[in-house]
Amino acid sequence: MAAWTVWTLLLCAVLTGQGSKSQDCGVAPLNTRVVGGVNATAGSWPWQVSMHSTSSRTHFCGGTLVSNQWILTAAHCIISNILSSYTLYLGRETQSGPNVHEVSSTVSKIIVHPDYNNKRFNNDIALIELSNPVTFNDYIRPVCLASNSSQFHNSTSCWATGWGQIGKDEALPTKYSLQEVQIPVIGGNQCSCIYRKQINITNEMICAGQENKGICQGDSDSFKMSG
């Protein structure tokens, strides 16, 4: 079964920095970009965030650092309105063992898109405010956001990163390092054909993926664009 990826985030991360005025965003000095669904080198994706349930102390969703105090994630990752339910980790490499460059944070505010539809997955986007600003370094940096005029053409190379499932019907891994894989954008018509029995693909969605390469549960909000 093809591992096609459907994404509904309206603000897609552009690694080249197009549409951003910040000189700090979108720069990953330690990125080696190994293609094929393998372990990511420490510091390769300094905007990657690991969202944990405070009660279970386990990873359940990904996020993206967009400034020194704000995280972009998927609205379906907001599983509770209680702020203390979440602990966020930045600069994390692995879900077990030491993470010497890691910083943890609690949450001070959550903003879910007012038009989010959890049945159709329209506007599946949310913002999380960290309790305190983080200091940027080689392992913790913000991504650059796309401009309003950005276009994402078929076959544009993308990167998916995360600590989600690495195979169908497998449990979320607890000991894996951050994974990365390169996948192409696919057209809306093709995506609609693939998902016609599961979800209505709208113009507010972007599809990316290919057979045996993509994302799975636990990888939400881990889609990165590169020009």
User: Ranked by mean pLDDT, which of 98-112, 141-155, 189-203 comes out on top?
Assistant: 98-112
Residue 161: phi and psi, rounded to 5, are -135, 155
Q: What is the pTM of this model?
A: 0.78
102-127 burial, b at 16+ Cβ within 10 Å, e below that, comes to ebebebeebebbeebeeeebbbbbbb
Answer yes or no: is pLDDT of 145 > 90: no
pLDDT-above-90 percentage for the chain: 36
- Rounded-to-integer distance, Cα 224 and Cα 13, Å: 5
DSSP 8-state symbol, 40 = P
Whether 107 and 68 have beta carbons less than 8 Å apart is answered as: no
Residue 88: phi and psi, rounded to 5, are -110, 140
Of 221 and 18, the one with more pLDDT: 221
pLDDT band at 110 (very low <50, low <70, confident <90, very high): very high
Catalytic center residues: 76, 124, 220
Residue range 125-139, pLDDT digits in tens: 999 999 999 999 999
Strands (E), 66-191: 70-73, 86-90, 103-105, 107-112, 126-130, 157-162, 179-186
Residue range 175-208, pLDDT digits in tens: 678 888 888 888 878 888 877 777 788 877 888 8
Residue with tokens 């549409």: 19
Cβ contacts of 153 within 8 Å, gap of 6 or more: 185
* Average pLDDT of every residue of the chain: 77
Residue range 43-97, pLDDT digits in tens: 889 999 999 999 988 888 999 999 999 999 999 999 999 999 999 999 999 888 8
Check residue 132 and give its pLDDT: 97
Check residue 169 and give its pLDDT: 56
Whether 64 and 143 have beta carbons less than 8 Å apart is answered as: yes
Check residue 160 and give its pLDDT: 83
